[in-house]
Amino acid sequence: MDDEQIPRPRPVIAVVGALVGVLGPVLVGAGVVALTWWRLGPVTRTTVWAEDGGIFLRERVALGPVDSLLHPYAGYLHLVPRLLVDLGWAMPIEDYARVLSLGACTVVGVVAAAVFVLARDVVPSWPFRLVLAAVPAILPLAPYEIAGNAANLHWFLLFAAPWCFAYRARTWWGSAAVAVLAGFVVLSELQTVFFLPLLLLAWFPLRDASGARAWPRALPVTVVALLGAVAQVTTALTDHRESRPGSPAFADVVAGWVLQPFAGAWDADVRAAVRFVVAHGWAGVLVPLALLVLVVAAAVLVGRWRARWTIVALALGSGGVWWAALLANGGATLDWSHPVAALEAVPPLRYAAASGLLLVAAAVVSAGVLVGWRTPVAPATGRRGRTGGAARLVGAVAGWCVVALVVAAAVGNAAPGDTRRSGGPVWAGEIPAAVTACDGDPAKVVPVRTALWAADVPCSRLLSNGFFSG
């Protein structure tokens, strides 16, 4: 297996690398939190979305802070989102929306910092890892629905799953930290089970400073991930799910993936891709896709074995998340393979954003492989061969082009735009009317308007918050 030592870096590079190792994750995490928060815009970040004011809040009130944590909903467990709702409910009631938004952005920052550290075996170059870790913050589709709320936080945790499972921990303390993170990840998202085979990568030995083989500390994360997966699968088999299953044709699955996750990975306006295909045909979107497939295939061909399996897992995961969403939700099944003008009305789907996270990650990892491509070490001399000549140059150019496209897409879509919460209602602005509706009676429960649904808030909570002075 590919466990050869990496050549010792020069002293200056070593010092810079050490500083990056210490400060990098903190700076990456903080930057991702700030960027994710800013991209939401002032109204979106202060508006409660879907389950955050619906089922999660109702069950928090009814079941309490402990019993609600692992209470199943829609066929799986949502540990981290429910913890976030607990935090929001503990704060002043008028700050509930803002606390949830900031908390969700903070979780994304933690995920980004973790990926920056855990991806180092696959992506040794820290600039490429920086782009990889920032994907949750820079994905064009992220703010539209999945960013800044607890209801969709599980998609970002899914993004962390392959890196948690495949990481080779050097110490027991590191292994314990990764196991804790993996526990939160698996108990928040059912589809992490598809990445469980990557646990095998965590067991392969690495080389210590003397060149001897050292076995990674993979047992804690393996046990935690498998136990969490059992809990999720058991819940999925026993809990009732209200969504009507779909039965999409394979052509519609593929075409929908091209028009939503793939197109949305570079431009938040997925309707533009539909308009283009309706007006000019498929060639304009299939050619860029074919080029990306070539880049990914080349990286799988020349990359080290660990990078190969990671890229394959991310690419298949992107398609799998999209396909599973269409199978599980009949309302998302459309005639994607025969786009017409009416299809332009379909907004970005949250499943497209989740699929896009994994797709862009696969692209960035592939770019890192091609730019860092070196020929194997020669057994006779112990030195690396030449860097690959013209083929290596073409690969490096292709890799840098992919990274440039990712960065350009991030810059072009960085400003706050329209989201599913852009129209409010702003949560804090609804509280005074809710207090008035209580009429001084703490036994009442009054509705508070939210985006999509309404929250049923006990007047005892509203009146105890200092709003009532009668």
Same domain, 319 and 459: no
* pLDDT at res. 6: 44
Is 320 within a domain?
yes
Number of Cβ atoms within 10 Å of the Cβ of 122? 25
Same domain, 406 and 447: no
Is 13 within a domain?
no
* pLDDT at res. 1: 45
The HSE-up count of residue 272 (CA atoms within 13 Å, CB side) is: 9
Measure the CA–CA gap between 88 and 100, rounded to whole angstroms.
6
User: What is the DSSP secondary-structure string of 305-370?
Assistant: HHHHHHHHHHHHHHHHHHHHHHHH-GGG---TTS--GGGGG----HHHHHHHHHHHHHHHHHHHHH
| pLDDT beneath 50: ranges in the chain | 1-7, 377-382, 384, 467-470
| Strand blocks (E) in 357-469 | 445-449, 454-458
Count the domains in the chain.
2
| Residue 465, token pair as written in the block | 């918050």
Is 3 within a domain?
no
Is 421 within a domain?
no
User: Is the C-alpha dihedral spanning 146, 148, 154, 155 positive or negative?
Assistant: positive
Judge if the upstream peptide bond of residue 425 is cis by omega within 30 degrees of 0: yes
Same domain, 99 and 145: yes
Measure the CA–CA gap between 155 and 358, rounded to whole angstroms.
10
Is 202 within a domain?
yes
* pLDDT at res. 129: 96
* pLDDT tens digit sequence for 89-113: 999 999 999 999 999 999 999 999 9
* pLDDT tens digit sequence for 238-293: 988 777 777 889 999 999 999 999 999 999 999 999 999 999 999 999 999 999 99
Same domain, 117 and 219: yes
Is 140 within a domain?
yes
Same domain, 305 and 447: no
Same domain, 78 and 156: yes
Same domain, 463 and 372: no
* pLDDT at res. 241: 77
Same domain, 285 and 163: yes
Measure the CA–CA gap between 206 and 70, rounded to whole angstroms.
37
- Structural domain including 112 reads 23-412
The HSE-up count of residue 94 (CA atoms within 13 Å, CB side) is: 12
Same domain, 327 and 445: no
Same domain, 447 and 357: no
* pLDDT at res. 242: 75
Is 18 within a domain?
no
